[in-house]
Structure 1
């Protein structure tokens, strides 16, 4: 049997850390479920359960603040979708670079945010074939949206 030490980030049952809005799941998290260490085979199940509870908690928070959550995708779906077109990642990179990086341009924050939100809608609405490129594009788009939303909100203060 393989054992490994627990992560050092204490979390609650929803994978929340002591820092508001920061979650931890997987090897970095210390859930307390298995004591001082755990069998490696149990770690995957623990990561799945705690990452799911984190996602559900984040969804509840988004609803509370009036943001529409993207929803959870089914774990399995038939590979009947079309291939995702290339270019989403470079599109997002260009939008962020133009509006925010190097020389921030506050006048472009709102338009850039809307562009990224449109990309997100397309990525999540279309039935693209599941691939690592699709997962990565969705992740990059959501991160870009969060960045632009934060700078947009900060610009309005």
Structure 2
């Protein structure tokens, strides 16, 4: 509930030595906490032993350099989650828990700008429309994170 009331003061985590119960989709969970408000924490064994350290380092870089401002949830259902961080430069995070590649039109805070997917999970470099809308994609069972160049 702290994340709802005072999100900038919340310490978020995916797992720790007491609660390591996520076996699949753990990188989706890290993509979520690294793109939202708060102080995300990476479990030592995830970083040093179990997950791809380069991917975690990339998410940490995105958190430190792109994830600022308030969060607007743009879409959420059983398989898809899309949120926008409204700071400068801000970002769009797209999480996909389905077995299919997905695409979605989303509103951004960028107008007539080429944006980049910063995780390497998509090769698209779409340009936002004059009204800020853009079509983004996400691979199956994965995540993509978009921001300005």
Q: TM-score range by the shorter chain?
A: under 0.3
TM-score, normalisation: structure 2? 0.26
Between Structure 1 and Structure 2, which shows a larger proportion of helix residues? 1
Max Rg structure: 1
Given the two structures, how large is their TM-score scaled by the length of structure 1?
0.25
